[in-house]
Amino acid sequence: MARKYFGTDGIRGRVGEGKVNPELVLKLGWAAGRVLGQGRGGKVLIGKDTRISGYMFESSLEAGLVAAGMDIALLGPMPTPGIAYLTRTFRAAAGIVISASHNPYYDNGIKFFSSSGCKLPDELEEAIEAEMDRPLDTVPSKQLGKAERMEDAAGRYIEFCKSTVPASLNLGSLTMVVDCANGATYHIAPHVFDELGANVIVIGNEPDGFNINEGIGSTHPKTLQKAVLEHGADLGIAFDGDGDRLIMVDHEGSIVDGDGILYIIARSRLEQPNGLKGKVVGTSMTNLGLELALKELGVELLRTDVGDRFILEALNDNGWSLGGEPSGHIICRDRTTTGDGIVAALQVLAAMVFSGSSLRDQSLGMPRLPQVLVNVGLGEAVATQIMEDDRVNAAVADAEATLGANGRVLLRPSGTEPLIRVMVEGTEAAQVTDLANAIADAVRNVAAS
């Protein structure tokens, strides 16, 4: 079924334009209430990140859900994985996240979690879309829902995060910089690490509604690298705006991305009884170095399409425990139901402390093949038309012929931004860079024509 509203990760876009406007979000809340409540009512949890438009969309969703007869618990600013966790523990009908993740403040979006804390299955999203085409009607007044604020939401999630590592873990030997991206982790992550004993230096914890992800957070790691070196810290951790992804920085200022984090957690799990179940799941963007390093450990890597949704599907379908993306979406399925930056960071910190080694030492076992990613803005152009253009195909074919069996090329449209992502991987860094730029130039030329 062709989607009219939902994309690969809920609904997302520029505030006030297209699908992301108060009127449509009100209707979305009403339609979701009718489908998820099935006429019986129930409770829905609503959380958000720190961008200014969150207030507006929170009110719109609240009105729509109440009109459909659903009760609401407002969580306030809360990391996306925290909303998933609380939805599950409260046996709520659904959880709703108001966030555009790593996008700038002027974007926003809506995504849903089912009562089990997982993303909604396709059939429910399709049912909500079908309901949105019906006229909005309000249940009788005696059936209207109520809204309340959950005052202890942050504390509940902090305790959950701490429960995902052994009670004996003490981070007292570590000084760390924690970058909260001025986003949803600003009042959560520092407390988690502090309560486990770490000496925490916090940056990006002063959100004002407009500075989320602005030159800071997991998509802007130079800020974290600089802070780690300035403070002489043992490591740094940066989250994105909604806290479902992270990157780390070692004491020398080198980045440990999602592939490196996956490797560290997988190796640590292998040292624990029944610690790693099945294969590790990555994506088409996963560095070949991770695949080779896991093979040395006797572990296979399964690649899926890009997107944590596809990783989670593979983990659930096979009963496996670990997967993630280079961008830092890490899913520890043996700990939680979705990507969780804080939980993933804790698994790495536990591996460091219990082995007595640094983050740099932990990541050395994974060789990294040169990989270049170039994002090309589309403007008004359509991604599929560009990717099917003969000029772009010729540039890709030339690159693949040059690389031969020692590399690969991947073109894909972004699921969250108007971009085409060009990825080239090979054995020689200069060659990989030149080939990626050549393909990106071809894409730009077609988009501009």
* Consecutive H or E run containing 238: strand 235-239
For this structure, is 101 an active site residue? yes
417 near 103, Cβ under 8 Å?
Answer: yes
**Block residue for tokens 């939680």:** 336
**Block residue for tokens 């006429």:** 39
Can you tell me the distance from the alpha carbon of 332 to that of 80, in angstroms, rounded to the nearest whole number? 15
| Domain 11-151, CATH number (from 3.40.120.10, 2.60.40.10, 3.40.50.720, 3.90.1150.10) | 3.40.120.10
User: What pLDDT is attached to residue 293?
Assistant: 93
pLDDT, block means (10 residues), the chain with 449 residues: 76 92 96 89 95 98 97 98 97 96 96 92 91 94 96 97 97 98 98 98 98 97 98 98 97 97 97 90 93 94 92 95 96 95 98 97 91 86 85 94 89 83 92 95 89
Segments of the chain assigned to CATH 3.40.120.10: 11-151, 162-363
Strands 235-239 and 246-250: antiparallel
96 near 54, Cβ under 8 Å?
Answer: no
Strands 235-239 and 175-179: parallel
237 near 177, Cβ under 8 Å?
Answer: yes
User: What pLDDT is attached to residue 2?
Assistant: 62
Could you give the 3-state DSSP secondary structure of residue 389?
A: coil
Catalytic residue among 101, 114, 268, 321: 101
Segments of the chain assigned to CATH 3.30.310.50: 371-448
CB neighbours (10 Å) of residue 178?
A: 29
Could you give the 3-state DSSP secondary structure of residue 210?
A: coil
The one-letter amino acid at 429:
A
- Beta bridge pairs of residue 408: 425
| Domain 162-363, CATH number (from 3.40.120.10, 3.30.930.10, 3.40.640.10, 3.30.70.920) | 3.40.120.10
Q: Concatenate the DSSP letters of all residues of 410-423 into one string.
A: EEEE-SSSSEEEEE
CA proximity to 384, closest of 408, 422, 420, 436 = 420
Q: Concatenate the DSSP letters of all residues of 31-80 into one string.
A: HHHHHHHTTS--EEEEEE-S-TTHHHHHHHHHHHHHHTT-EEEEEEE--H
User: What pLDDT is attached to residue 121?
Assistant: 87
Residue 26 CA to chain centroid, in angstroms?
A: 25
End-to-end CA distance of the chain: 32
Distances (CA, A) of 381 to 8, 107, 160, 363: 19, 20, 44, 40
Can you tell me the distance from the alpha carbon of 341 to that of 185, in angstroms, rounded to the nearest whole number? 9
Phi and psi (nearest 5°) for 40? -105, 0
Please give the CATH architecture assigned to the domain spanning 371-448: 2-Layer Sandwich (3.30)
Phi and psi (nearest 5°) for 409? -125, 140
Can you tell me the distance from the alpha carbon of 125 to that of 116, in angstroms, rounded to the nearest whole number? 15
